[in-house]
Amino acid sequence: MAASPDILRIAVAQLDPTVGDVAGNLALAREARAEAVRAKADLVMFSELFIGGYPPEDLILKTAFVEACMKAVDELAADTADGGPGIVIGSPHRDKSGLHNSVALLDEGEIKAWRHKVDLPNYGEFDEKRVFRAGEMPGPVDFRGVRLGLPVCEDIWGDLGVCETLAESGAEMLLVANGSPYYRDKMDVRYQIVVRQVIESGLPILYVNQIGGQDELVFDGGSFAINADHQLAMQMSQFEKSLAVADWRRGEGGWYCVRDVMARLPETEEADWRACVTGLRDYVDKNGFVDVVLGLSGGIDSAICAAMAVDALGEARVRCVMMPYTYTAESSLEDAEACAAALGVSYEVVPIFEPVEGFMSALSSLFEGTNSGVTEENLQSRTRGTILMAISNKFGSMVVTTGNKSEMSVGYATLYGDMNGGFNPIKDLYKMQVYKLAAWRNENLPPDCLGPNGVVIPQNIIDKAPSAELRPDQTDQDSLPPYPALDEILECLVEHDMAVDDIVKRGHERDLVERIEHMLYIAEYKRRQSAPGVKITRKNFGRDRRYPITNRFRDR
């Protein structure tokens, strides 16, 4: 179908490609184009590296993978010979100059143009300079009489002037393919970036983002358009796969998007919750697990992970196991059972007294003459971890691990014990954020969540003092400062890389800050061996914060 020179109908495909599933991603693209045909669209726009999935990391170095992606683009281009919508789609592309992160314009049965990403990000979770070659400054492409600028993601985030160059060379609008992962309040940052580029280029921008979980990263969609007058003209939902069609018209001041699609965006707590749920769901489903199992202790961390698992997968795919020992309080047994009942999940009790005592007996001669302490406490945790892994091995269930960011920061966790597992939905949530989200979920059921409405985490679990219950009358504060203070200090150290002196000026005791800094550094070896988990903050462990294990620096 031929576009009117003054009207362009663009379908935005906000979808969930899977890294490496080239055939599956091609099928998704074809389904979206068929929907765009029914909507009488002129053009359908996909996200960054859509055909191979994003981010491909070092998979992109495999020649066969790149060739499969380029072949799929050729096949998709052939589809456009039917006279239907043209396509803008992200794909790796190899040419004489090297391997590029690119977008292709497809129309009339052929690839009309390739445009390569100029500004390759090399910070945080991004390290594209390792694998891609930067493109030259691009010019616009012609699509049925409209000159389109096709910058790719970081091209609008950086300061290389890609958008200004496109405007100066005759682009009439900018269509941007993005692979922009979620972190808290990310939408506000995107708006600021796009508005700045609209102001500098004088052109309207359509920002297309992907959806879904990929290992630690969650892509939240939220695709939108901002007109040349700096006003939001189109807003798609977050955390929901969809295809939206928007009409663009040419007026006296140039092209503008007709204000029509305006989805509601979630507030902070809902966004964080849905990111955790999306990340867990896609990790389980994309890696082929039928269900999950986790230890339900009666504490807040395991309870919120159970609730997230049910919201992600449904109650039939979640198995909870309580593993009591001598120090497990009766109230914990009651709370765990009440939580399982509220969620409607399978719940079993597997006492660990006999296996723990068996380990104690086997080690008795080696430990003779020593005092009981952390070693014996860790045996309880490792016994629980062994039982969960045995269930996983026997039934194929993925173990959900339940440590929060506060614990991961200071090493308040047991290797090969409570750290056992395949994925951790709360790995990037500090303890006080866990409490806040638990209270929020008891009052809200987010869209696309499969769990029940109402209270899913018993109030007693939220109210009681947190405890690992590895010795009599134990609480976390026997070993750690109060969580509000701990979390604030950790946020200063981890998220903001603040100096000890500056943290002390915020009202914290120097000895405490130095102690927490030391605990943070010496726990690096544990974090290197921890399960992946959803990125929620600007700086998570693993992809964003990469510290050496051997490290004698202390800020004194």
pLDDT category of residue 519 using cuts at 50, 70 and 90? very high
Are 234 and 136 found together in one domain?
yes
Both 183 and 93 in one domain: the answer is yes
pLDDT of 1 higher than 60: no
User: Both 25 and 164 in a single domain?
Assistant: yes
Residue 118 lies in a domain: yes
The 10s digit of each residue's pLDDT in 40-67 is 999 999 999 999 999 999 999 999 999 9
Can you give the pLDDT at residue 60? 94
Task: Mark whether 427 is an active-site residue.
Answer: no
Tell which residue, 211, 336, 321, 337, has the closest CA to residue 277: 211
Name the active-site residue from 35, 69, 136, 153: 153
- Mean pLDDT (whole number) for 143-162: 92
DSSP string, 171-226: -SEEEEEE--B--TTHHHHHHHHHHHHHHHH---EEEEE-EEEETTEEEEB--EEE
Binning pLDDT at 50, 70 and 90, where does residue 4 land? low
The CATH number given to whatever domain includes residue 311 is 3.40.50.620
Same domain, 232 and 282: no
SS3 121: coil
Percentage of the chain exceeding pLDDT 90:
82
Task: For residues 526-544, give the mean pLDDT.
Answer: 90
Buried b (16+ CB within 10 A) or exposed e, 357-387: eebeeeeeeeeeeeeeeeebbbbbbbbbbbb
- 3 pLDDT more than 70: no
Summarize the confidence of residues 161-187 as an average pLDDT.
94
pLDDT at 86 over 90: yes
Average pLDDT, the chain: 93
Note whether residue 479 is domain-resident.
no
- Kindly report, residue by residue over 132-148, the tens digit of the pLDDT: 899 899 999 999 999 99
Looking at the fold, whether 204 and 281 belong to one and the same domain comes out as no
Q: Indicate if 255 and 285 belong to the same structural domain.
A: no
Q: How many CB atoms lie within 10 A of CB 316?
A: 12
Residue 151 and residue 51 share a domain = yes
What whole-number distance in Å separates Cα of residue 110 and Cα of residue 519? 58
Q: Please state the rounded mean pLDDT for residues 432-444.
A: 96
Confidence of residue 473 (pLDDT cuts 50, 70, 90): low
In which domain, by residue range, is 147 found? 7-264
pLDDT at position 547, please?
87
Is 163 in the active site? no
Identify the active-site residue in 69, 117, 305, 427.
117
State which of 229, 245, 264 marks the end of a domain: 264
- Kindly report the pTM of this predicted structure: 0.93
> Per-residue pLDDT tens for 287-337?
999 999 999 999 999 999 999 999 999 999 999 999 999 888 898 899 999
Considering the domain architecture, whether residues 283 and 234 belong to the same structural domain is answered as: no
pLDDT above 70 coverage of the chain, percent: 97
Q: Which amino acid is at 58?
A: D
Mean pLDDT of 510-528: 93
Residues 124 and 196 occupy one common structural domain: yes
Q: What is the pLDDT of residue 467?
A: 65
Q: Is the pLDDT of residue 159 over 90?
A: no
Angle at 211 between CA 205 and CA 214, to 5 degrees: 130
Question: What average pLDDT does the segment 473-500 reach?
Answer: 85
DSSP 8-state code for residue 360:
H
Catalytic one of 48, 172, 269, 517: 48
Write out the two tokens for 372.
């009981």
117 is catalytic: yes
Q: Which of 4-18, 402-416, 473-487 has the lowest mean pLDDT?
A: 473-487
Is residue 507 pLDDT above 70, yes or no?
yes
Question: Is a pLDDT exceeding 90 seen at residue 122?
Answer: no
Please indicate, yes or no, whether residues 249 and 284 belong to a single structural domain of this protein.
no
Asked whether residue 519 is domain-assigned, the answer is no
